[in-house]
């Protein structure tokens, strides 16, 4: 979902419903989104305010101990 174009989305919509895309936003797989694609997809489905990009969870490691490899752009 990070790398698709508007044309690619139209092709994907042949195979996946809006509910499928919304489900991906509800429980995204790791690395499916970067910050800009997360914002774009949430806006596309009217999710405002846009929730923070989910952080990677590693069992036994606190969330503050995991590096943020996709920091928000200033």
Global pTM reads 0.68
Q: List the pLDDT tens digit at each of the 74 positions of the chain.
A: 788 888 998 999 999 999 999 998 998 887 788 889 999 999 999 998 999 888 776 777 776 666 666 566 65
Give the CA radius of gyration of the chain.
Answer: 14
H-assigned helices in 1-74: 6-15, 18-26, 35-44
pLDDT, residue 41, reads 92
- Domain ranges in the chain are 6-62
């Amino acid at each position: 979902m990070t790398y698709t174009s508007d044309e690619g989305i139209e092709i994907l919509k042949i195979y996946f419903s809006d509910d499928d895309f919304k489900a991906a936003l509800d429980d995204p797989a790791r690395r499916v989104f970067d910050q800009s694609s997360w914002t774009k997809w949430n806006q596309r489905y009217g999710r405002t305010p846009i929730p923070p990009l989910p952080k990677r969870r590693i069992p036994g490691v606190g969330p503050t101990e995991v590096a943020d490899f996709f920091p928000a752009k200033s």
